[in-house]
Amino acid sequence: MKNKLGLCLLFALGWVGQSLALEPGHLRYSVRALGMGNAYLGVGTDSTALYYNPAGLGLAKVWNFQVLNLEATGSDKLLELAGGDLNSALSNLAGHKVYGDVVVEASAGGPGFAVSTFNGGLLDLKVDNPVVPYAQFLAYTQRGTVLGFAGGTDWNWGLSLGQVTREGTSGSAHIMNLMDQAYIDGVTQNLETKTATLANFGLLRPLKLGMFDEAHLAAVWRGGMDFGLAGQLKPQLDLGFAGKGVLVGMDWILAADWVDLNRANNPEGSYLSHLNLGTELGAWSQPNGTPALALRAGFKGPYPCVGWTLNPPYLPLTLVYASWSEEIGTEAGDVQDSRKSLDLSINF
């Protein structure tokens, strides 16, 4: 039990491993976006646009204030580790990941402006070789504040700026060390703290397409962020498309993104792994700008995603769910890591 509590402590710190398995670099994910394949550059118009494409703030029609937003993501192996036998879970870890993400956020967003402040941590732990079971890891918590502006007439432009602080460390360890309380205590007592500046610039160009009421091409340049031992995000160029219309009486979105065109954060991934596709059907839009019910589907790289939103009328609660996967194979071909994400928001 004490060893399991130690691993939970590591999760409380947050563990992420872009260097572990060359996952695409990101600072924050939107659970709504993940349900539609993370194809979101031309879709988001609320505070989530700060982390995808700040130009989307120029398309916002209503204000939305999130008093409290809780996000949680867990891989299948993390859920197995949390709910089952520790020794069994660790022995079956080779080739898979223990991945988790927890975020607490407050935000406000509306036409042309948004601000977000958040605190959270990530977990990413992977063993590639079952014969030599060494786990690679990079562990951190992070906190930050980001604000963004948008404007324009024919072209919409947007800029998001912020400051993010991470505390963490990186390295490798024999998997049995992860069951050693003294080792875990040593890791948690030797962390590096570093602050980096976020700067994202985005554009949206309107298109006239008969099948859509509204359509845009999107382009985003994400500035790099270096946190030393706590991880690094390299400058990245993304392109996207989104069309919005009505299908079978419901609001309809179709989106496609080609991310990391300069192959900075995922240089080893195939071109398919850089392509995200998604769609959303929503009904009964509420005053907070979110439909009372929405269904989503898509592909994040080669893997399918699904999701939904429940936003009950007259209640300041929104629940968003996504089931998605990430490519984590580095040693023996493509490997799918299945994950579940849940977002609970108190908003008005």
For the chain, give the mean pLDDT: 87
pLDDT in tens, 265-299: 877 777 778 999 999 999 999 999 999 999 999 99
The predicted pLDDT at position 10 comes to 47
Range of lowest pLDDT (51-55, 133-137, 320-324): 133-137
DSSP state of 67: E
Q: Given a cut of 60, is residue 2 above it in pLDDT?
A: no
Q: What is the mean pLDDT of residues 24-37?
A: 89
Q: Which has more pLDDT, 64 or 190?
A: 64
Q: Given a cut of 80, is residue 93 above it in pLDDT?
A: no
Q: Given a cut of 50, is residue 14 above it in pLDDT?
A: no
Domain 2-347 in this protein, CATH class: mainly beta
What are the Cα distances from residue 125, in Å, to 10, 71, 98, 100, 137? 10, 20, 5, 9, 5
Q: Given a cut of 90, is residue 159 above it in pLDDT?
A: yes
Most confident stretch, 131-145, 178-192, 323-337: 131-145
**Integer Cα distance of 221 and 52 in angstroms:** 10
Could you state, in order of their start, the residue ranges of all structural domains in the chain?
2-347
CB 222 within 8 A of CB 5: no
What are the Cα distances from residue 334, in Å, to 98, 234, 285? 17, 23, 40
Angle between the N-to-C axes of helices 2-13 and 76-83, in degrees from 0 to 180, rounded to the nearest 10: 140
Burial of 210 (0-12, 13-18, 19+ CB in 10 A): exposed
Nearest-CA neighbor of 193 among 230, 232, 143? Answer: 230
pTM score of the predicted model: 0.89
Q: Which has more pLDDT, 99 or 18?
A: 99
pLDDT in tens, 231-266: 889 999 999 999 999 999 999 999 999 999 998 887
